[in-house]
Amino acid sequence: MVPTTGNTQNGVVLLHVYDRAEDVVSLRNEIFEQPAVLERLLKTQGEAAVEIASTVKKRQVKSVFIAARGSSDNAALYGKYLWGFLNRLPVGLATPSLFTMYRTPPRLEGSLVVGISQSGESPDIVSVVKEGRRQGNLTLAITNEPSSPLAAEAELLLETGAGEERAVAATKTYTTQLAAIALLGAAAADAPDLFAALDRVPDLVKEALDLDDAIRVAAQRYRYMSQCVVLGRGFNYATAYEWSLKLKEMTYVVAEPYSSADFRHGPVAIVSDGFPVLAVLPAGAVFEDGMRLLETLATEHRAELLVLSNDDRALALAKTPIRLPSDLPEWLSPLVSIVPAQLFCYHLTQAMGYDTESPRRLRKVTRTL
């Protein structure tokens, strides 16, 4: 048991008591499986990634067009930044309704058309890949299900190999998608140092998982939170979106994700004394810009800051600081930074008294047209 004062401020509980169930549930299991599944993917799919990268070069691909939904769409956001950064490719995210509802698909000449899906079953994602192939483009499926309709439709396949994921909230299937995207980026860049950095990711994720108890205690502070914003930029724009999605689907908090740049263009007006702002800001190219925003939020708006970072300056601004591994390459940081965010959502869901395994009105596989 944890002592409580019961004090709240602007919807944020300062400390609260709840009983921690000692039995391990499937979502927590799946969060803690991530180092092992990431290590397996990196060991088993490296050769496939190199072959795919070789085919992409031979076909003289000029751009990438990605179709995805839900957590997979957040992984696609990471791909948009990473493949642009490592491989200098313009990357666009599909609007599947143009393919299914409006029946006016864009012309995709010269593109690698990628479908990303845990189940590989959503008809709209399959339709984008099918149309891409019909137009004569190279097509790729990134999926956990190699026998799925998406895998069958695509010319190339990269299996994420996360194994069965029983909980509705995606955790290991999301991080393995990120790893698959990173693996392809490294293979296309043909840089051995990138592979060496990737090989360290499972250990960095283990380090993040060591924060479990501290995050359990920290989550209690937010038991009565009903709304918040989640900030990230660059590679971790994807992390902001995925973190906010997990908050929405598990805790039912109205959590809005923003780029720290976009947040200045109007939405910052919603922040007042004690308003919860969750930010992911590891060291890297966007750090100084993010720091300027956090300083403003902390000093001028007196926001309630929860910050994921490996820089002491950012952590010092937070009411709730959560430290990321110190030697974390920025381009790989989304694979690690999402892990404490997952733990936060898991423990907050428990603290709020909700079911971590089966969020209301949601199913594991969603098929959209």
Shared domain check, 329 and 221: yes
Same domain for 194 and 66, yes or no, is: yes
**What is this structure's pTM?**
0.90
Indicate the pLDDT class of residue 166, thresholds 50, 70 and 90: confident
- Out of 155, 181, 199, a domain closes at 199
Q: Record the tokens describing residue 330, joined without a space.
A: 């920025």
Name the pLDDT band for 167 (thresholds 50, 70, 90).
confident
Does residue 25 lie in a domain region? no
pLDDT at 20 over 80: no
Q: Are residues 170 and 141 in the same domain?
A: yes
Stronger pLDDT, 147 or 20, i.e. the higher one: 147
Domain-embedded: residue 3: no
> Is residue 311 over pLDDT 50?
yes
pLDDT average, residue stretch 243-249? 97
pLDDT of residue 148 exceeding 60, the answer is yes
Let me know if residue 92 belongs to a domain: yes
pLDDT at 234: 97
What's the mean pLDDT in 275-284?
97
How many C-beta neighbours within 10 Å does residue 82 have?
Answer: 24
Same domain, 147 and 53: yes
Flag whether 26 is in a domain.
no
Per-residue pLDDT at 359: 74
pLDDT at 362: 61
Who contacts 349 (Cβ-Cβ below 8 Å, separation ≥6)? 250, 251, 355, 356
Task: Examine the pLDDT at 3 and tell me if it is beyond 80.
Answer: no
Closest alpha carbon to 42 in 188, 235, 191, 184: 184
**Domain containing residue 326:** 8-20+203-352
Residue 27 lies in a domain: no
Q: Are residues 231 and 338 in the same domain?
A: yes
Mean pLDDT of the chain: 91
The answer on pLDDT for 256 being more than 90 is yes
pLDDT at position 358, please?
80
**Contact (Cβ atoms closer than 8 angstroms) between residue 249 and residue 366:** no
User: Is residue 210 domain-shared with residue 193, that is, in the same domain?
Assistant: no
Q: What is the rounded CA–CA span in Å between residue 178 and residue 136? A: 27
Q: Please give the pLDDT value at position 357.
A: 85
Which residues are CB-neighbours of 322 under 8 A, at least 6 positions away? 211, 214, 215, 218, 306, 307, 308, 309, 315, 340, 344
The string of pLDDT tens digits covering residues 332-348 is: 999 999 999 999 999 99
User: How many domains is the chain partitioned into structurally?
Assistant: 2
Query: Per-residue pLDDT averaged across 91-117, rounded?
Result: 96
- As a whole number of angstroms, the distance between CA 295 and CA 260 comes to 12
Distance CA 143, CA 161 (A): 8
User: Does residue 361 belong to any structural domain of this protein?
Assistant: no
Does 38 fall in a domain? yes
Q: What is the CATH number of the domain that holds 43?
A: 3.40.50.10490
For residue 17, the model assigns a pLDDT of 34
Residue 358: inside a domain, yes or no? Answer: no
